[in-house]
């Protein structure tokens, strides 16, 4: 089916070929009412709606007694720590009683849990970074058709807060500035998929031509370095290939996207800092931009970090940031939990609800953007107070193009949490017999979530 979309592009390219020859041209293209098929289930070309994969991260887990619903399956109850999910519950699955297994590896505080959830591997040291994270694996399968193979953003304002890794030494850095993120997405190189005219940029053709020399340079350099460095050069070369693909796309009229409406540019940056109101504002701004980046088909794989793993989110007038509070705040004997720590988690869940709702508000075909995606949300601990990674909660949102049931609370019976990542990979038709290492290795999908 993806082949159909590819064919339509080739056809258009064939039409355009021969009239370019280095000069800018304009080609009249269909209007918006022709963008979808008659039933609204596919693009005008007959290609199906693309299914996207997204992630969301929050730090410092949960308080089980007030986070985990008592009821399993549909219409699950919403304990006080996740009460803010009420407007989006029908879109969200909550997965509890799944485990991260560290086997012989140490329990590295605020690291082991998220690395297992995202890469299926228990790291051995604090500098032992994950190999390829799940978003990158899926992007290799579905990200080749868009301008950006993945987009990664953070609400912390810190470029380092990313949970997306291409390899142990290669982090996909986070876009942290709403102003810069807007410029990256919708600035000079953006091609409005719904524009009536397609103007070919001859400079892009020249860039592509020059790029072959850069690739030769990478090959040349690769000959004179050792094995480890050669791997880094291979990665570089692969990145150049991606760039070439991006240039090709800029030379191709994009498929019209009715859901794509250019957002207005942010006027100014939120102030620096991790005060929760600033983080919430930044999260909202980055989410709104990310939603349109997906709606405009600039990417099909996207990541958002609400906080870093040992979240340092702070609350004005309270002297401990979230992480410090999780260790130093006393448990209220009447409530049975740490009230300030829980307050931070509740605010995180409000932002998770905002994230889900933002995608659900965009109409696409006969459904919403959210219907055509799967968002996977994970954390770094279960009970942060003791750095526990047992029963780390996870969420998904979206129906993945009708392949996933939503609105469910699913109990994992203590099985590996990597089953969710594995299921996601299968949903995106990755040919993987299993995912994860040692006890986190699994080849068992979560059947309850599959439609």
Question: Which lies closer to another protein via its Cβ, residue 302 or residue 435?
Answer: 302
Tell me the closest approach of the beta carbon of residue 332 to another protein, in angstroms: 7
Question: Which lies closer to another protein via its Cβ, residue 102 or residue 419?
Answer: 102
Question: Which lies closer to another protein via its Cβ, residue 71 or residue 241?
Answer: 241
Contacts of 449 (CB under 8 A, 6+ apart): 93, 396, 404, 405, 408, 410, 423
Question: Which lies closer to another protein via its Cβ, residue 81 or residue 166?
Answer: 166
Torsion angle in degrees (nearest 10) through CA of 358, 359, 363, 368: -140
Tell me the closest approach of the beta carbon of residue 200 to another protein, in angstroms: 12
Q: Is 70 exposed, middle or buried (0-12, 13-18, 19+ CB in 10 A)?
A: exposed
Tell me the closest approach of the beta carbon of residue 60 to another protein, in angstroms: 14
Count the Cβ atoms, other than its own, within 10 Å of residue 388. Answer: 16
CB of 151 closer than 8 Å to CB of 412: no
Helices (H) and strands (E) in the chain, counts: 10, 14
Question: Which lies closer to another protein via its Cβ, residue 216 or residue 366?
Answer: 216
Complete DSSP assignment for 136-202:
HHHHHHHGGGSSBS-EEEESSS-TT----EEETTEE-PPB--HHHHHHHHHSTT---TT-SEEE--H
CB of 130 closer than 8 Å to CB of 165: yes
Q: Give the span between the Cα atoms of 201 and 210, in whole angstroms.
A: 15
Tell me the closest approach of the beta carbon of residue 129 to another protein, in angstroms: 8
Contacts of 329-332 with C-beta under 8 Å, sequence gap 24+, read 331/385
Q: Is 138 exposed, middle or buried (0-12, 13-18, 19+ CB in 10 A)?
A: buried
Complete DSSP assignment for 283-300:
HHHHHHHHHHHHHTTSBS
Question: Which lies closer to another protein via its Cβ, residue 12 or residue 184?
Answer: 184
Question: Which lies closer to another protein via its Cβ, residue 152 or residue 396?
Answer: 152
Tell me the closest approach of the beta carbon of residue 44 to another protein, in angstroms: 29
Question: Which lies closer to another protein via its Cβ, residue 42 or residue 211?
Answer: 211
Tell me the closest approach of the beta carbon of residue 16 to another protein, in angstroms: 16
Question: Which lies closer to another protein via its Cβ, residue 126 or residue 434?
Answer: 126
Tell me the closest approach of the beta carbon of residue 51 to another protein, in angstroms: 21
Tell me the closest approach of the beta carbon of residue 126 to another protein, in angstroms: 7
CA Rg value for the chain: 23
Question: Which lies closer to another protein via its Cβ, residue 207 or residue 405?
Answer: 207
Tell me the closest approach of the beta carbon of residue 255 to another protein, in angstroms: 21
Tell me the closest approach of the beta carbon of residue 443 to another protein, in angstroms: 29
Assigned token pair, 435: 């995912």
Q: Which of 324, 296, 344, 398 is nearest to 56 (CA)?
A: 398
């Amino acid at each position: 089916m993806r082949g159909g979309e590819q064919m339509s592009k080739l056809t258009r390219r064939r039409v355009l070929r021969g009239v370019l020859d280095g000069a800018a041209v304009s080609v009249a293209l269909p209007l918006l009412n022709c963008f979808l098929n008659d039933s609204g289930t596919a693009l005008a070309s007959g290609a199906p709606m693309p299914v996207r994969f997204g992630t969301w991260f929050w730090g410092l887990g949960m308080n089980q007694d007030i986070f985990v619903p008592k009821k399993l399956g549909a219409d699950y109850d919403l304990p006080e720590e996740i009460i803010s999910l009420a407007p989006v519950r029908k879109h969200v699955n909550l997965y509890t009683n799944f485990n991260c297994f560290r086997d012989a590896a140490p329990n590295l505080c605020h690291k082991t849990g998220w690395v297992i959830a995202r890469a299926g591997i228990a790291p051995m040291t604090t500098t032992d970074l994950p190999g390829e994270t799940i978003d990158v694996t899926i992007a290799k399968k579905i990200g080749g058709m868009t301008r950006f193979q993945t987009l990664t953003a953070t609400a912390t304002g810190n470029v380092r807060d990313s949970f997306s890794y291409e390899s142990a030494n290669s982090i996909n850095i986070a876009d942290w500035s709403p102003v810069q993120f807007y410029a990256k997405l919708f600035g000079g190189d953006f091609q409005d998929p719904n524009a009536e005219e397609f103007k070919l940029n001859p400079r892009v053709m020249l860039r592509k031509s020059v790029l072959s020399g850069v690739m030769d340079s990478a090959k040349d350099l690769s000959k004179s370095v050792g094995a480890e460095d050669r791997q880094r050069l291979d990665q570089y070369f692969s990145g150049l290939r991606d760039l070439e693909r991006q240039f090709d796309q800029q030379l191709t009229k994009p498929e019209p996207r009715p859901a794509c409406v250019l957002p207005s540019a942010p006027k100014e940056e939120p102030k620096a800092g991790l005060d929760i109101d600033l983080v919430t504002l930044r999260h909202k701004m980055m989410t709104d931009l990310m939603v349109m980046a997906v709606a405009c088909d600039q990417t099909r794989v996207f990541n958002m970090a609400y906080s870093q793993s040992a979240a340092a989110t702070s609350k004005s007038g309270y002297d401990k940031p979230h992480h410090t509070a999780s260790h130093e705040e006393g448990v209220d004997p009447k409530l049975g939990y740490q009230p300030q720590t829980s307050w931070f988690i509740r605010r995180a869940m409000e932002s998770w609800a905002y994230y889900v709702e933002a995608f659900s508000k965009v109409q696409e075909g006969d459904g919403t953007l959210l219907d055509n995606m799967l968002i996977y949300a994970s954390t770094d601990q279960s009970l942060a107070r003791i750095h526990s990674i047992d029963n780390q909660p996870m969420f998904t949102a979206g129906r993945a193009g009708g392949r996933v049931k939503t609105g469910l609370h699913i109990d994992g019976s203590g099985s590996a949490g990597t089953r969710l990542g594995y299921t996601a990979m299968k949903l995106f038709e990755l040919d993987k017999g299993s995912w994860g290492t040692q006890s986190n290795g699994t080849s068992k999908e979560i059947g309850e979530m599959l439609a």
